[in-house]
Chains A and B, each alone.
Chain A
Amino acid sequence: MEDLLTGLRIIDSTTMVAMPTATHILADMGAEVIKIENHTAPRSEGGGVFLDNKPGSKFWNRDGLFHMLQRSKLDLTLNLRTDEGQESFKSLASISDVIIENNRAGSMGRLGLDYEEIKKIKPDIIYVSNTGFGYTGPWQQYAGIGRMFELTCGLSQLTGYTDEGPRRVGAAFYDVPVGWTAVFAIMSALLHRQKTGEGQWIDFAMYQIGVSTIGDTILDFVANKRNGQVMGNAHPFYAPHNVYQTEGEDKWIAIGTENDTHWNNLCEIMNNPDWSQSNEYSDSFSRYKNREQLDLLLSDWTKTQNNLQLSNLLQSKGVPAGPVLNSKELLLDEHLNHRQFYERITHNPSDDIGEQMYSGRAWKMSNSTTKIRGPGPALGEHNDYILSQLLGYDEDTIGDFYDLGIISDEPNNQRSSTNPPSLEKLLEEGTISEFDVDFKSILGLA
């Protein structure tokens, strides 16, 4: 078994979620990803998620979402506003294959580190500039965040309960798909480089990637002048297709029939109640037209049953069904654990985090190892390795860099740590639905 991307070096000068997602996948695949951080600004990729809800000292190295998004990477702090910082960036660029950055359009140019400059020292560099809307057009200076693209890309037009307006689903939905598409773009550019020796600059706009996922809906307007509407959990033409409450607190089962065989098998499992044979529900068109009433009847049937057992029963007769799983149930899920979807990672003792579980990837390859190489790096953790081993700087120079604030292993502008809200408060306001004080033993964390 080999690493997929051995020998590839990637400079990751990105923040937020989308591009860090792309680079941690590349790092999991075996590329050497060097995260370049600006230690003069607060570390911002976290989400206020700390072990036992306590930030602790050096909290900037302890945020769970930081570790999730930045795992497998090396870390170099670099103040890019200094000449030395810019020179070091260029030296590193000259021995790298790919640069990814997500600053506002034009920022890298002002630092003298845009594609045109880097190309002079590394002609075949692949340079990705990720922005919300791209480097051209009237919206080029508008900033983008994942959370807003669900609206602007058109997905919210279709999403929400049918008795109210649009509503968001998921957290910052388009960040992650855009990250995945970035991996595709980078690999495609590398394949092109392999054939031609050519690098290139990729103007990578989140907006177009999001809009492209609803192409059929756009064509519906082009051809039929229809503008879409909020759908609830409904299928466009088949019912039942929704979630139904089951036994227990906030437990639900999804049942998604898509043809008459599914429906007939569902009826058989329900022992063909009289209502299922009535005119309102006996054919698919009527079921669709009467789907709200049908959902109530089905809920009556599901509400006394266990969602996991019922979905296994429905699945055994070929009816697409599954429990609505929450984060805890996912981590404990037998199937996902059989496939080792969540990976257990032991942190450096100095971070006092112990062992943690992180989402892996949705795929496995038969001939390649892909895995989380290690937790997210501490700020400046690999300064010495990168500057001395990769760039050949001597000890004195590196010492000067620390003294001059060109590199650092502590953020010099970090806001003081505010304690996250207590779990009791989050429960009271409804941000969380439950919490376990003994979660470590539930998950078997060392």
Chain B
Amino acid sequence: MATTALDNIRVLDISDGISGAYCTKYLADYGADVIKIEEPNTGNTTRHMGPFFHDEPHREKSLLYFYLNCNKRSVTLDISKNTGKKIFLELLVEMDVLVENFQPGYLEQIGLTYEELKQKFPNLIILSLSSFGQTGPRSSHFGNDLIYYAMSGIMHISGAYGRSPLKHGHPQSYYMAGMTAAYTVTAALFSRLTNNSGQQIDVSLQEVSTSHHYNGPTRYSYTGAVESRATKIEGSSFKGVKFEGIVKSKDGYIGASSQQGRQRPLFSTYAEMLDIPELSDEKFSTNTGRIENAQELDEILLPILEQWNKYDYFDKTMSEGWVTGVVQTPEDLLNCPQLKNREYFIEVEHPIIGKITIPGEIFRLPNCPWKFTRTAPLLGQHNTEIYCQELNYNKDDVIILRQGGII
């Protein structure tokens, strides 16, 4: 049996929400043994968030929870109670990594200071995700995806001239935070091999999104200019809905233009490829010329692009060396020949949902590959397995703990 990259790593994930779960999805997908601790009655909040299988709200049918938590195990535990705290510390004995995203200060409040954890478990890597970090004047503020986008600089530069700032229609800030957290954990694990010491990692979700917007602050620091949203005349802006942006095709939307970077091919070859002689005009031959004549360019080009089927355009331009894009729907992705060829989608069977196709391998590590081991756990599915087999509780103890609301 092939090994996985992280098969000797054990992770206790007491975080709630998307970012911590996406972090531990990366870790679990590449082999780590991830045990989720969930609140005893309701479980993670993502269990109550859509989309739901067949639109039936049910804590075992959230497809968001399902997607984020395959390959993990679940126990329930209330760590605000003293017994819960004691069991939590027992679980940590065998762990390499703890992932938490409480409001900064909460763990101290319930008597679990970082200093104490460090003393008890000197090799433990503690990953703390929070809205604004563990320190600083805003550390007690409440964030969410909208707030991170707003405070990252990304929203200020996104949207139309004179209209409101815009964010993605999907909470990407949480996913970016999960990726960031995952790489910091593996770097800390690697460093631990030589210095034998754990550490606390303080990840700020605002800063994750802010570090995505690296170019705007650099521009200001060099020139004093504040980057903005799309230009007044959108034809020249990749942030717009004209040629340089996202435009209509016959059956959807495409990113038609690859006029980017310094390696751009001659625009006349584009005109030839699409057989539009009007575009060979000298005035469109340079980038400056196309910006100055953007409206005219759009008047010629957009009606023609609207006659193309989106994949015909994509395949034609891409196979001739241009770099274009096609707005793919979820259905398109499921049918995508490239993803099919790379066996990205797999079919799995969940005890309540039944058979379902899900996205699989994020990237390929051939010698220690991504592996699917189990569907997302039912709430507390592994209580007996973990409390009785891995800790020293017996079945009667588990009943007492259950009745006491601890698990």
Contact = CB atoms under 8 A, between A and B. Distances in A.
A137 B341 contact: yes
B200 interface: yes
A330 B356 contact: no
A209 B255 CA distance: 19
Given A167-B246, A220-B63, A211 B359 contact: yes
Contact of A368 (B172, B191, B258): B191
Interface in A27-80: 29, 42, 44, 47, 49-53, 64-65, 67-69
Contacts of B153: 325-327, 330
Given A52-B223, A187-B187, A362 B203 contact: yes
Contacts of B325: 147-152
B160 to A, nearest CB: 7
Nearest to B261: A44
Interface in B240-273: 240-241, 245-246, 248, 253-255, 258, 260-263
Given A331-B217, A363-B207, A192 B3 contact: yes
Interface residues of A, number: 171
A430 B226 CA distance: 10
B334 A222 contact: yes
A380 B224 CA distance: 30
Contacts of A217: 51, 170, 330
B344 A325 contact: no
A123 to B, nearest CB: 12
Interface stretch (A275-283, A314-322, A386-394, A402-410): A314-322
B199 A365 contact: yes
B136 A338 contact: yes
Given A151-B326, A327-B216, A331-B220, A219 B164 contact: no
B367 interface: yes
Interface in B187-225: 187-191, 193-195, 197-205, 207-208, 210-225
Interface string B136-169: 1110111111110111111111111101111111
11 contacts: A4-B187, A50-B222, A142-B319, A143-B318, A160-B169, A192-B365, A203-B364, A236-B50, A243-B155, A318-B142, A368-B199
Contacts of A362: 177, 180, 203-205, 207-208, 210-211
Contacts of B12: none
B161 A68 contact: no
Contacts of A250: 228
Contact of B226 (A68, A358, A432): A432
B91 to A, nearest CB: 22
A426 B232 CA distance: 11
A220 B142 CA distance: 29
B14 interface: no
Contacts of A213: 170, 172, 175
